[in-house]
């Protein structure tokens, strides 16, 4: 007997950006592959850990003995490169319709990108920027720390338990869980980390807003 897909109910939605609503894999791979080669690292191994974190946090994992100041300096350079390079940046499948469905409902962007990069990628993907957004400048700690998700929930005015986070990466899912939120995992990376609900892309999700303010999320 086939199990019934789960239905999640919430009052607010918190959205990661890269890999969740915006497909930026092409530029991420271009920029990080070049950085890895400059450091003498295997690009394949580097690309396994870059998703979901701020760049300097990824560098600290890959080069633990390097001074933090150098990681932050490299991260600033990478952010500038990634902000200028939007070739191949497109919406994740179903993201335009999903963002349109969220219009007027409580939702926020919670991303490891800084404000300039988030703006560049959302614009390139043709997606509306949420009024509430938590970017790299807004937090003191990168995902998997829950700070970003907790700030997003607080700014929207909802308890973490009333929020559902959308994520694609191990670090992002860990951050959302640490914040006390349920998780919709989007895309192939998310499937390995047991999200509460998993969809291949946002075409596979249905959002229903009820009159009492409850949001219902289910697989299509």
Which residues are designated catalytic? 16, 18
Tokens 């607010």 locate to: 12
DSSP conformational letter for 196:
S
Q: Is 40 left (phi over 0), alpha (psi -120 to 50) or beta?
A: left
- What are the strands of the beta sheet with 182-186, ordered from one edge? 132-134, 107-110, 12-15, 163-167, 182-186, 197-199
Whether the CB-CB separation of 149 and 110 falls below 8 Å is answered with yes
**Cα distances (angstroms) measured from residue 220 to each of 5, 21, 100, 127, 189:** 9, 17, 17, 22, 20
CA-nearest of 130, 134, 183, 131 to 154 is 134
CA-nearest of 124, 133, 67, 64 to 91 is 124
- What are the strands of the beta sheet with 7-10, ordered from one edge? 7-10, 215-219, 205-209
d(CA 95, CA 6): 21
């Amino acid at each position: 007997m086939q199990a019934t897909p789960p239905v999640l109910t919430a009052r607010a939605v918190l959205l990661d950006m890269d890999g969740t609503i915006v497909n930026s894999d092409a530029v991420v791979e271009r920029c990080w592959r070049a950085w890895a080669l400059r450091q003498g690292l295997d690009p394949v191994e580097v690309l396994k850990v870059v998703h979901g974190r701020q760049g300097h946090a990824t560098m600290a994992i890959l080069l633990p003995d390097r001074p933090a100041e150098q990681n932050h300096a490299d991260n600033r350079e990478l952010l500038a490169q990634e902000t200028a390079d939007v070739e191949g940046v497109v919406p994740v499948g179903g993201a335009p319709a999903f963002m349109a469905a969220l219009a007027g409902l409580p939702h926020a962007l919670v991303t490891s990108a800084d404000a300039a990069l988030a703006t560049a990628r959302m614009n390139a993907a043709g997606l509306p920027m949420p009024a509430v957004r938590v970017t790299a400048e807004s937090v003191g700690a990168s995902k998997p720390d829950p700070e970003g998700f907790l700030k997003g929930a607080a700014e929207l005015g909802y308890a973490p338990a009333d929020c559902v986070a959308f994520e694609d990466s191990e670090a992002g899912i860990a951050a959302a869980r640490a914040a006390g939120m349920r998780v919709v995992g989007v895309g192939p990376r998310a499937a390995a980390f047991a999200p509460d609900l998993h969809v291949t892309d946002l075409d596979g999700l249905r959002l229903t807003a009820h009159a009492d303010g409850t949001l219902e999320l289910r697989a299509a």
